[in-house]
């Protein structure tokens, strides 16, 4: 039995034609930031609905704390409002527990899951990083925050290949483009995300994509998802936490091909 849907206040992008695909982005991200580099690939075979969480992209900042159930329901409502009644969900980072919760609360609507750089519950190491992120943001120390996010977001090989001028420019861009809703996303992640009990209830085709050089959401978390979700498929990309920066073509192809094959 599916949960009743709210009216969605989320701004969204809608692209393409074909079977439905709902996107769930990461904390401090956004649809354009997290899925923009692979949007053409996804929209070539799907009707893609990409809602921005409160305080990112097209959506105003929330006036109240976010809840996992509320965010999952609102994402589903966004797709339904766009006439997409059933859909796969591609979740990235924080979007993976959002996608998982959406699938368990709306099993009649969700047809498949792709979970990239994902986690069911933050462990102490992940919480340490997330709290440092939140503390630097609260202190408005955006210069050090940009450095921290670059060190922990990109893989070492990718960062080792960047020259000083390019790194300096990237840090300035990161500091200037942190979405205003990021504190609420981090509060949700740190204090309220635990979908471990949901995993065994998943019955749809599921692909877990491990970002094998990830220093934020480490492969430890990806393997936990793979091992707990019945019948989960598993793939790896040699990238840090930002596959859309380091390996967008490989990432987009993995999602596209799995969703195509899961329908046959």
Residue among 259, 214, 263 nearest 240 (CA): 214
What average pLDDT does the structure give for the chain? Answer: 97
- What local confidence, expressed as pLDDT, does residue 150 receive? 96
End-to-end CA distance of the chain, in Å?
Answer: 26
Average pLDDT estimate for 148-172: 97
- What local confidence, expressed as pLDDT, does residue 1 receive? 64
Is the pLDDT score of 2 beyond 90? no
What percent of the chain lies above the pLDDT cut of 90? 98
Question: Reading across the β-sheet that carries 87-92, which strands appear in turn?
Answer: 12-15, 47-51, 20-24, 87-92, 110-116, 206-211, 233-237
Residue among 170, 180, 189, 169 nearest 242 (CA): 170
Give the CATH H-level superfamily of domain 12-124+182-262: Alpha/Beta hydrolase fold, catalytic domain (3.40.50.1820)
What are the extents of the domains in the chain? 12-124+182-262
Q: How far apart are CA 145 and CA 69, in angstroms?
A: 29
**pLDDT tens across 53-85, in order?**
999 999 999 999 999 999 999 999 999 999 999
């Amino acid at each position: 039995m599916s949960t009743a849907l709210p009216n969605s206040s989320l701004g969204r992008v809608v692209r393409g034609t074909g079977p439905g695909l709902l996107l769930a982005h990461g904390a401090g991200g956004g649809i354009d930031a997290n899925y923009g580099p692979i949007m053409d690939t996804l929209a070539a075979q799907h009707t893609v609905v990409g809602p921005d969480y409160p305080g990112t992209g097209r959506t105003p900042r929330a006036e109240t704390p976010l809840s996992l159930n509320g965010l999952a329901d609102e994402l589903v409502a966004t797709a339904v409002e766009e006439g997409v009644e059933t859909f796969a969900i591609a979740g990235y980072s924080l979007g993976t527990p959002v996608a998982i919760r959406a699938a368990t609360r709306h099993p009649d609507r969700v047809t498949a899951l792709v979970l990239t750089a994902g986690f069911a519950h933050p462990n102490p190491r992940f919480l340490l990083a997330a709290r440092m992120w939140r503390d630097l943001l609260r202190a408005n120390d955006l210069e050090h925050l940009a450095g921290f996010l670059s060190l922990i977001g990109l893989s070492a090989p990718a960062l080792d290949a960047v020259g000083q001028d390019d790194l300096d420019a990237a840090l300035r861009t990161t500091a200037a483009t942190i979405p205003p809703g990021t504190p609420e996303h981090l509060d949700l992640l740190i204090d309220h995300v635990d979908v471990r009990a949901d995993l065994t209830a998943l019955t749809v085709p599921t692909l877990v994509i491990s970002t094998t050089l990830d220093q934020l959401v480490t492969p430890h978390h990806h393997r936990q998802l793979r091992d707990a979700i019945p019948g989960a498929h598993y793939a790896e990309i040699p990238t840090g936490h930002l596959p859309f920066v380091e390996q967008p073509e490989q990432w987009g192809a993995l999602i596209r091909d799995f969703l195509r094959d899961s329908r046959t």
